[in-house]
Chains A and B, each alone.
Chain A
Amino acid sequence: MNATNATNAMKTTTRKRSNAPIFWALFGAGGMLSALFGPMLVFITGIAVPLGVVLPKDTMSYPHMLAFAQNLIGKGFIFAIIALFLWHAAHRIFHSLHDIGIHAGTGAKLLCYGLAMVGTVIAAYALLAIGF
């Protein structure tokens, strides 16, 4: 009886639910997006447009990009790409720190996820400020 009580007590005192699913879900969503859209974005912004292959040279001109960012779907796309890529990177960097022996505590967690949060807020603000 005493042993049972002791194990039950141990069980309830030592288990704390992890809040990792929040960060893991953002990480997963960002990873999925970067796998699907990352290479395409590199191709469009880094190769096709500057070299003028496949796409016309003015594809990414200011008026075009402004129109894209003012469109509701364009806004959503830009926001998701920036915010989720950031959360993905933050999570990966945070865990890589741990892997290379820097036992990242609350400070590193705040720094990594904090930067992602700041980037998310700035992206949201800028996209709203640019108008519809």
Chain B
Amino acid sequence: MSDNQKVIEIEVLRYHPEKDKEPHKQVFEVPFTDDMSVLQGVQYIKDYLDGSLSFRWSCRMAICGSCGMMINGEPSLSCQTFLRDYYPARVRVEALSHFPIERDLVINMEGFMEKLESIQPYIIPKEPRTLQEGEYLQTPEQLNEYEQFSSCINCLLCYAACPQFGLNSSFIGPAATALLHRYNVDSRDGGKAERMELINSEEGVFNCTAVGYCSEVCPKHVDPANAVNQNKTISAADYFLRFLTPKGGAK
């Protein structure tokens, strides 16, 4: 290390369920260079200062969606957030908001996994199709309909950003709704009626109060708020018109 090595203070929210009654903060002094991300900062802590620190990470390039954390109170991917942007002030790193903490910066994402499963995130063909019939063809317009919503990496930053999910965790939430919408508007899919049941339900889109912070924090530029609000309109139209249409999401 050179003499002019910069050192930043990283305040980490620690929680070890077998030892701690409640989460508490711990401050580490971490030497860093300008190219170091917050993730590299916490990796430095784990490698050199305290091996018991737990956090999730994998790809280091905003593809895998594992390293989401609250950084100075903002839901962020720690791999694309840089220590230099906080220096010389202290940077605060905490587990994602609105989720139970499993340990330190690791959240329990079981609730989200159930939601993900419930939206049936796969193409449900309109009718059975044999191999001989060949591949599905789509026009660029048909691709445009859903493409941006398919970029979700399940990092859960939008859930940490959503005040309504924070107040009511049964709300299906931004990412799951965006992905649900992605399949509903896919020209190859025929599962819309089944999925709309969830959109229309008390766990569905009407929990949203159009805050829009979900879309702001999304690292992949998905616009979940847009998906949620499009589905409010679709759901409301179905609510009032369902008795007029021969078939639909009527229950």
- Contacts A17-B251, A21-B240, A25-B236; A99 near B201 (Cβ below 8 A): no
Task: List residues of chain A with CB within 8 A of the CB of B204.
Answer: 18
CB contacts (< 8 Å) of B202 on chain A: these are 15-18
In the complex, A11→B203 CA distance in Å?
A: 12
List chain A residues, Cβ under 8 A from B236.
Answer: 21, 24-25
Q: Which residues of B contact A24 (CB under 8 A)?
A: 206, 232, 236
Q: How far is the CA of A11 from the CA of B117 in the complex (A)?
A: 12
Whether A20 contacts B206 by the Cβ 8 Å rule is: yes
**Which positions 8-61 of chain A face chain B at CB distance < 8 Å?**
11, 14-18, 20-22, 24-25
A98 CB-CB contact with B under 8 Å: yes
Residues 67-108 of A, flagged 1 when their CB comes within 8 A of B and 0 if not, give 000000000000000000000000000010011010100000
Beyond A24-B232, A98-B167, is A17–B201 a contact (Cβ under 8 Å)?
yes
Interface size class of B (residues with CB under 8 A): 10 to 19
Asked whether any CB of chain A lies closer than 8 Å to the CB of B37, the reply is no
Partner of A15, one of B163, B203, B235, B240: B203
Q: Which residues from chain B contact A25 at a C-beta distance below 8 Å?
A: 236, 240
Which partner residue on chain B sits nearest A99 by CB separation? B163
A20 to B251, CA, bound (A): 15
**Residue of A whose beta carbon sits closest to that of B202:** A18
Contacts of B209 in A (CB 8 A): 95, 99
Q: Nearest chain-B residue to A25 (Cβ)?
A: B236
| Cβ contacts A to B, 24 pairs, < 8 Å | A14-B203, A15-B197, A15-B201, A15-B202, A15-B203, A15-B251, A16-B202, A17-B201, A17-B202, A18-B200, A18-B201, A18-B204, A18-B206, A20-B206, A21-B206, A21-B235, A21-B240, A22-B239, A24-B206, A24-B232, A25-B236, A25-B240, A99-B167, A101-B167
- Which residue numbers of A lie inside 8 Å of B, CB to CB? 11, 14-18, 20-22, 24-25, 95, 98-99, 101, 103
* Known contacts A15-B198, A18-B201, A98-B167, then 8 further A-B pairs from the complex at CB < 8 Å, ordered by chain A residue: A15-B203, A17-B200, A17-B201, A20-B206, A24-B206, A25-B236, A99-B167, A103-B167
